[in-house]
Amino acid sequence: MAALVNVIMIRIHQVKCESAKDIESALLKKLNMPKQDLLCWKVHRKSLDARGQKVLFSFIIDADVRHEKKYLHKKDVTKAPDETFTFTPKGKLPLENRPVVAGFGPAGMFASLLLAQYGYKPLVIERGPEIDQRSKDVDAFWHGGPLKANSNVQFGMGGAGAFSDGKLTTRSKDLKARKIFEELVRFGADPQILYEQHPHVGTDGFVKIIKGLRDEIIKLGGEFYFDSQLDDLEIENDALKAIHIQDRGWIGCQALIAAVGHSASDTIRMFARKGLIIEGKPFAVGVRIEHKQAFINQAMLKERAADPALIPARYQLTDTVSTGKGVYSFCMCPGGYVIAASSEPETVVVNGMSYSDRGGENANAALLVQVGPEDTGDGVFDGLAYQERLEHAAYDVSHSYKAPVQLASDFVEGKSSDHFEDLKPTYPLGTVFTDFNTLLPSPIAKSLREALIAFEKKVPGFLDGAVMSGLETRSSSSVRIVRDRESLLANVFGFYPCGEGAGYSGGIMTSALDGMKCAMALMDNFDKPLNPSLE
């Protein structure tokens, strides 16, 4: 592949070939172009087209060419847009102190980074520890050690995204998304994420990136308080005046980006007590289902199931069942692991994770059922209470952090499981057989049974030997902190609800995008701080 040395002039869509080695020849053939007209090119997007008899790679190519006007008239050719992210803050209100970002998950990371890059020198507070200590605490828990309240899969530097598949999927064409990818590459991600259809970094890749982001923010004048939980607000005349940090006391704060994550229920309840307007929202609950990755490869790729360029394969399944509920696969982790994701004592919560090579023997995905007020009640925190009851019920199956499990075929048939077939569950703390027909609320169990039958028809063999582990309850927040659609401010001036915990995103990319949006909204209200030092 030639390196681009000049300004990109044209973008060519639908360049298809069986092997990535044949891109240039496919490009020349598509445009009927002599090789001397092609000065340089690069891949803008890579995807897979499996609709026909052959599985083809489909590329969007950016190229600098001679006689570009001639080629712009051809089918699937457009002028390549300028995708440089630009932003000019408009804020005039003075800040007496530096802005504060609460939480250093994906939303908090990119809110903090953007603020730092524009000279706002943010203070970042994170209830959990730095990533190295957090990783030790998580590993200890997964080997039977204690669950630490503020250092686990949900809390600590990197947020819940640090222990995940590291998916970077987004449908957004917003230039902020391009900036996020470029920053991730700058801090150590594989450059392929800039053009892959389903980019990911994996848990091991994410750790290096998190550290690079933190170091860049510090270099630009930002400051970090780890092991520092936001636990109170001072509000005067409907405007934020100060925040209280556990074990550190009160500090002046007129601008706060609250990116606390979807599991910080204590913090969200504190916000409600202080007068923030919060509403319940739909969410989903369910289980993780594991298959042999070799089966998924064969089911999805057929005769190319061993092609190293295509594996490990993934799937996405959805169905609407007789209860009226949608059931869908979520956060599919090829070559991944089911992990213990509890953050509260005496609860069992599962999630999925993979490393950058996606080299595990099993594949797993969440199978989630939509939950609404008809299931939980109409109260603001009824959904949260519903999640918590399920998590405690899962723990009570064995009075331990073992994951309840059942063969998917037995669940559909309404009978108990007492053995595994050829698949060994990857959940690290051990498993205990249960019947999800009784552990899950009846409408959820019924919906899941019907969906599994439908999925078996779509993917024959989907039920055979597959193991369900539970419960998956933290795929999204059950509440939303209400904010203005334009200013992104809550009903307290200076308070910016942000990310998954505030109910505005789900996943690494949407959270990072929301973090950038909130940082930009803050800078459109407030000028740089008069007193960036907190000493």
Is residue 6 very low, low, confident or very high in pLDDT (cuts 50, 70, 90)?
A: very low
Token duo for residue 517: 């949006």
- The verdict on residue 86 lying in a domain is no
Containing structural domain, residue 455: 282-472
Mutual angle of helices 106-117 and 202-219, in 10-degree steps? 30
Is residue 83 very low, low, confident or very high in pLDDT (cuts 50, 70, 90)?
A: confident
What are the φ/ψ torsions at residue 12 (nearest 5 degrees)? -110, 120
Q: Tell me: the pLDDT tens digits for 314-346?
A: 999 999 999 999 999 999 999 999 999 999 999
Is residue 2 very low, low, confident or very high in pLDDT (cuts 50, 70, 90)?
A: very low
| Mean pLDDT on 50-64 | 83
Q: Are 468 and 483 within one domain?
A: no
- Whole-number pLDDT of residue 337: 97
Q: Which sign does the torsion angle of CA 485, 381, 405, 367 carry?
A: negative
Q: Are 451 and 321 within one domain?
A: yes
- The verdict on residue 349 lying in a domain is yes
Higher pLDDT pick, 4 / 125: 125
Helix ranges, 91-130 (H): 106-117
What's the longest Cα–Cα distance across the chain? 72
Query: Which residue type occupies 506?
Result: G
- Whole-number pLDDT of residue 3: 47
Closest by CA position to 186, among listed 222, 213, 215, 218? 213
Q: Are 325 and 399 within one domain?
A: yes
Token duo for residue 212: 């690079």
Higher pLDDT pick, 513 / 311: 513
Q: Is the pLDDT of residue 349 over 70?
A: yes
Q: Is the pLDDT of residue 226 over 70?
A: yes
User: Which residues, 6 or more positions from 219, have their beta carbon under 8 angstroms from its beta carbon?
Assistant: none
Q: How many domains is the chain built from?
A: 3
Token duo for residue 116: 């730092």
Q: Tell me: the pLDDT tens digits for 227-253?
A: 999 999 999 999 999 999 999 999 999
Interatomic CA distance for residues 237 and 1, integer angstroms:
60
Higher pLDDT pick, 521 / 68: 521
pTM score: 0.92
- The verdict on residue 446 lying in a domain is yes
CA distance readout (Å), 490 to 234, 255, 498: 15, 11, 10
Q: Are 465 and 485 within one domain?
A: no
- The verdict on residue 534 lying in a domain is no
Residue ending a domain, choose from 456, 472, 488: 472
Is residue 461 very low, low, confident or very high in pLDDT (cuts 50, 70, 90)?
A: very high
Q: What is the CA radius of gyration of the chain?
A: 24
Q: Is the pLDDT of residue 493 over 50?
A: yes
Local structure of 222: helix, strand or coil: coil
Q: Is the pLDDT of residue 469 over 80?
A: yes
First to last CA, the chain: 52
Q: Report the CATH number that the domain containing residue 16 is assigned in CATH.
A: 3.30.70.2700
- The verdict on residue 5 lying in a domain is no
Q: Are 188 and 237 within one domain?
A: yes
